[in-house]
Amino acid sequence: VRVLLTGATGLLGRWIVHCWRPDDGTLIPTNSRGGTLGPHPCLALDLTDAAQVQLALDQSNPDLILHAAAISKPEAARRDPALAWHVNVRGTSLLALWCRHHNRRILLTSTDLVFDGQRGNYSEDASPSPIVEYARTKLAAEALVRDTPGGLVARVCLLYGPSLGGPPTFFDQALADLRQGRPRAFFADEFRTPLDLPTAARALIDLAHSDVAGTLHLAGPERVSRFELFRRLAPVLGYDANLVQPGRLADLPSPEPRPADVSLCSLRLSQILPELHRPPIEEAASRWT
């Protein structure tokens, strides 16, 4: 099986490349500029360039597109909504159209932020109601993928773990502060169901090999705040847990609202991939040390 991965140079994409095993088939990593990704050549597939997308897909002829490219930061989408819609929605439509014409599958990585966060513990049949621009683009992209036969939308939770290259992430910067003994505040009143990156990457590869279609929530086993997440990570990584301090959403005014509780229910996932072990926070962290 030939799987074309978009966003291979992103946080999640790099972990997918890292977790890919020889028996998973042929992986075709792509990003917007091409180049190399460690030992792997990375094909140029700029989602804003329809002709290049068409050519890259025709030439590489994948059985499945694992679509992990996006303008993925809410703040970036707020600052440049036109670009976010261009990449996240029009770009997805190009991929979905190619899949429809060639009878191939597409798997989209969407987000827990499609929910407004009023309730939490969302299952797949809950009604999305995004309150930030980024999530509005992702919800529009979801519809395009669900309209493609065999298409799968995996709504991914907050992912945590070290990056494997690229610019430092929020997570990398937070750990750097703790390593250097600098106290740092984390929201204690915003709830997610975070999952570690290697487990998320493995789950997405396994889903790529499945024939699951529709919508699926891919999230961690526990509902926690960022404060609790880092408070529990710190001692496992050898840092002082007291440096992790509670903050409140209200302390950091932002131009867009932040959903208070977008925790996801992953019951369907555990039925589909019963062998997938989603580690609790301490266990996930102990694997990186």
Ligand X SMILES: NC(=O)c1ccc[n+]([C@@H]2O[C@H](COP(=O)([O-])OP(=O)(O)OC[C@H]3O[C@@H](n4cnc5c(N)ncnc54)[C@H](OP(=O)(O)O)[C@@H]3O)[C@@H](O)[C@H]2O)c1
Interacting residue ranges for ligand X, rule: CB under 6 A: 6-13, 31-33, 45-48, 68-70, 72, 87, 109, 111, 138, 156, 158-159
Nearer of residues 93 and 274 to ligand X, judged by Cβ: 93
List, in order, residues 6 or more apart from 51 with CB less than 8 Å away: none
Residue 167 beta carbon to ligand X: minimum distance, rounded to whole angstroms: 8
Q: Is 60 left (phi over 0), alpha (psi -120 to 50) or beta?
A: alpha
Residue 85 beta carbon to ligand X: minimum distance, rounded to whole angstroms: 12
Nearer of residues 33 and 179 to ligand X, judged by Cβ: 33
Residue 134 beta carbon to ligand X: minimum distance, rounded to whole angstroms: 8
HSE of 183, CA atoms in CB hemisphere, 13 A:
6
Nearer of residues 46 and 116 to ligand X, judged by Cβ: 46
Nearer of residues 126 and 250 to ligand X, judged by Cβ: 126
Residue 166 beta carbon to ligand X: minimum distance, rounded to whole angstroms: 6
List, in order, residues 6 or more apart from 259 with CB less than 8 Å away: 113, 115, 116, 117, 118, 131, 132, 190
Nearest-angstrom CA–CA distance, 278 and 129: 27
Residue nearest to ligand X (CB): 10
Nearer of residues 40 and 183 to ligand X, judged by Cβ: 40
Residue 171 beta carbon to ligand X: minimum distance, rounded to whole angstroms: 9
The beta strand positions in the chain, using DSSP E, are 2-6, 26-31, 35-37, 40-44, 64-67, 105-111, 152-156, 159-160, 184-187, 191-192, 195-196, 214-218, 224-225, 244-247
Is 164 strand, coil or helix? coil
Nearer of residues 33 and 248 to ligand X, judged by Cβ: 33
Residue 76 beta carbon to ligand X: minimum distance, rounded to whole angstroms: 8
